[in-house]
Amino acid sequence: MKKITYLAFAALLSLSSCSKEFLKDGFLDKEPLDQLSDPEFWSSENNVRTYTYGFYASYFKGYGKNNTWGNYFSGQSLNDDFAPLKPSEFTLNVPTTGGGWSGTPSNNPTSASTPFGRIRKANHFIASVPVANMAEEAKNHWVGVGRFFRGLEYANFVNTFGDVPYIDKVLSETDPELYRARDSRTFVMDKVLEDFEFAAANVRANDGTAKLTVNRYVVLAYMSRVFLFEGTWQKYHNIDQDRAKKYLEASKWAAEEIINSGLFNVSGDYRAVFSSLDLSTNAEIIMFKKYEAGLLTHALMSNNNREPQSGISKDAIENYLAADGLPIAISAVYQGDKGIANVVANRDGRMKGTVVPELRLQGIQSNYSSSGYSTLKFLNEQYKDDQMGTSYVNTTDAPIVRYGEVLVNYAEASAELGQLTQEVLDKSINKLRARTGVNLPKLEVIGNQPAVAGKVYDDPNRDQSVSSLIWEIRRERRSELIFEGFRLDDLRRWKKLEYADTEINPAINMGAYVDKSKYTADQLKTITLNAEGYIIPSPVAGRKVADKYYLEPIPMDQIALYKNYGVELKQNPGWQ
């Protein structure tokens, strides 16, 4: 009966390139499918393809569903881009249970809702495909897809906890590997690289519905992301410099494969990448998540429209270059920050694609921002007053991975390897700067220093522990990817969590300048201003950063459980 049910699902998907069942979040993420062992099932490519959709909800969250918005915008707010009324906190205490680790690599997890459950699901898939009656090319493709998902899961697991047990087979309830001690992150990430390399060599360039399903370019894009993270983590946390180089080379290679394919381009409209009802023909999109009224909707557009927001920090606003391509501290065209019109004038055009050109103050507007600076990056202006633009019924499509990210990954990996040439910049950063509406001068490299119009410059506000060239590459990344869920991981991998400390970096607890002469005292009674007239969103609460926050703690119940089986599950540093 199970077999008939899932064959019916596969047939349903084949009826349409945008099947309504496919749109349902969590489709096929149910345990019975994970236990299918009938060789006849695995011998049908349609069935196998359908099975892989069960992985999608775990890794391709997009704008989430219903009253959520995934990791976009304030879905990932623990960083220096936001100045909220009360700063988000890191994990403060070791959890008793849960914490993203719970579950063991058992033979019958209740679902694929834990890392070990998802790893087992991938291992089951990888082991099942080779025995199927299908062509060798098809087997290699689907094994590659399975290894891609296993690699992603382990990359996320390592990202969160560091050392983790590595399991690459389906275990029985009595297998001695069931309570395996933690393997080193370098051992695990070497295995992840093997998975990605196999996937990059064998996953088809085209399979399933274009831009909605996994293909070689999706694999390569994630490969550029995963190994940029791990390469810089290894480098700046001083774990293994040879591994750092190896992983950064993998990131650069993957990005360059996409660039050299010629299949993707920078979109002519920055905001359209984040606010369109249909991303299927957008040249920048490598993969996206489709939303449809009555089936799968989100609330991100509404939050950028009619809801109060956690505001953009002064620190993030000041990251954007002036229109002459120079940091605001040394630009002749920067107009200052006294008034929102001056703030957005003569700046990187992506700022206008991100920041609302008016102050929205608490106590005056209902859709106020905690910092006065609001974002419109995810707002579709045409439909903002439509029913679709309200509540949690938004149907704008979500980019899952895009060419713009690949280009900044490529530039940063090249810079970290000491290989940032003008040719690299012209293939990456300068493509983004040439985007319609951005129109920044080309970034140049002269004597390993950043330059514009043939003149070397150095930002006087630069972190002096970071080279001027790396500083500018990181600035470009922040401007391009702001509010897309990357910033916390960027700070962690660079070992720069102190940027998110409100005492060390007070500009992250500052917002817009307010001209008090334009408002009554009653209008400003809910806002705290400092002596210079800038909003202080959180006048009481702050956020301090400790070294232990780079990795999450392992829950106490898991340490006790492993101990019962004679295995020491060591706690992460600082959490003992």
C-alpha distances in angstroms, 240 versus 1, 231, 246, 540, 573?
Answer: 52, 9, 10, 41, 18
What whole-number percentage of the chain has pLDDT above 90? 85
Nearest 5°: CA angle at 320, between 447 and 508?
115
Q: Over range 86-99, report the average pLDDT.
A: 93
Please state, rounded to an integer, the average pLDDT across all residues of the chain.
91
Q: What is the pLDDT of residue 33?
A: 43
Residue pair 289/397 in contact by the 8 Å Cβ criterion: yes
User: Which pLDDT belongs to residue 306?
Assistant: 86
- Inform me whether the pLDDT recorded for 107 exceeds 50: no
Q: How confident is the model at residue 564 (pLDDT cuts 50, 70, 90)?
A: very high
Question: Exposed, middle or buried by CB within 10 Å (0-12, 13-18, 19+), for 108?
Answer: exposed
Q: How far is C-alpha 419 from the chain's CA centre?
A: 25
How buried is residue 113: exposed, middle or buried, by Cβ count under 10 Å (0-12/13-18/19+)? middle
Instruction: Domains for the chain: give ranges and CATH numbers.
Output: 60-78+100-288 (1.25.40.390), 303-380+398-545 (1.25.40.390)
More confident residue, 19 or 73: 73
Give 241's pLDDT tier (boundaries 50, 70, 90): very high
Confidence at 14, pLDDT banded by 50, 70, 90:
very low
pLDDT of 111 reads 55
Angle between helices 216-236 and 403-416 (to 10 degrees): 40
Residue-level pLDDT at 74 = 81
Q: What is the pLDDT of residue 37?
A: 60
Q: Are strands 398-402 and 311-312 parallel, antiparallel or unpaired?
A: unpaired
The pLDDT of residue 105: 53
Alpha carbon dihedral 56, 57, 60, 63, in 10-degree steps, equals: 150
Q: Could you count the other beta carbons within 10 Å of the beta carbon of residue 367?
A: 15
Distance between CA atoms of residues 316 and 86, nearest Å:
17
Question: What's CA 447's distance to the chain center, in Å?
Answer: 33
Q: What is the DSSP string of 40-72?
A: HHHT-HHHHHHHHHHHHHHH--TT-SSS--TTS
Instruction: Determine the angle formed by the axes of helices 241-261 and 403-416, rounding to 10 degrees.
Output: 140
Q: What number is the average pLDDT over the span 310-326? A: 98
Q: What is the number of alpha carbons within 13 Å of residue 401 lying toward its C-beta?
A: 26
- More reliable by pLDDT, 173 or 96: 96
The letter for the amino acid at 406 is V
Model pLDDT for residues 525-562, shown as the tens digit of each residue? 999 999 999 999 999 989 999 999 999 999 999 999 99
Distance from the Cα of residue 387 to its chain's centroid: 29
pLDDT in tens, 185-198: 999 999 999 999 99
Could you tell me if 6 and 50 are in contact, meaning their C-beta atoms sit under 8 angstroms apart? Answer: yes
Q: Is 28 within 8 Å of 51 (Cβ atoms)?
A: yes
Which residue bears the tokens 């381009």? 265
Percent of the chain scoring above 70 in pLDDT: 92
Q: How many other C-beta atoms lie within 10 A of the C-beta of residue 96?
A: 10
Task: Determine the pLDDT at residue 113.
Answer: 78
The Cα 44–Cα 206 span in angstroms is: 18
pLDDT at 483: 97
pLDDT at 150: 98
Identify the pLDDT of residue 36: 54
Q: Quick one: pLDDT at residue 537?
A: 97
Q: How far apart are CA 297 and CA 290, in angstroms?
A: 9
535-to-21, 223, 272, 313, 372 alpha-carbon distances in Å = 47, 41, 31, 10, 7
How confident is the model at residue 32, as a pLDDT? Answer: 42
Tokens (6 digits) for 330: 């040394």
pLDDT value, residue 86: 94
Tens digits of residue pLDDT in 129-172: 998 999 999 999 999 999 999 999 999 999 999 999 999 999 98
Query: Is residue 122 within 8 Å of 149, Cβ to Cβ?
Result: yes
End-to-end CA distance of the chain: 50
Ramachandran angles phi, psi of 25, nearest 5°: -65, 135
pLDDT in tens, 204-216: 999 999 999 999 9
User: Comparing C-alpha atoms, which of 193, 177, 194 is closest to residue 567?
Assistant: 177
Would you say the C-alpha torsion 510, 511, 517, 522 has a positive or negative sign?
Answer: negative
Q: Specify which residues 450 forms β-bridges with.
A: 445
Cα separation, 138 vs 40, in Å, equals 15
How many angstroms separate the CA atoms of 273 and 438, rounded? 14
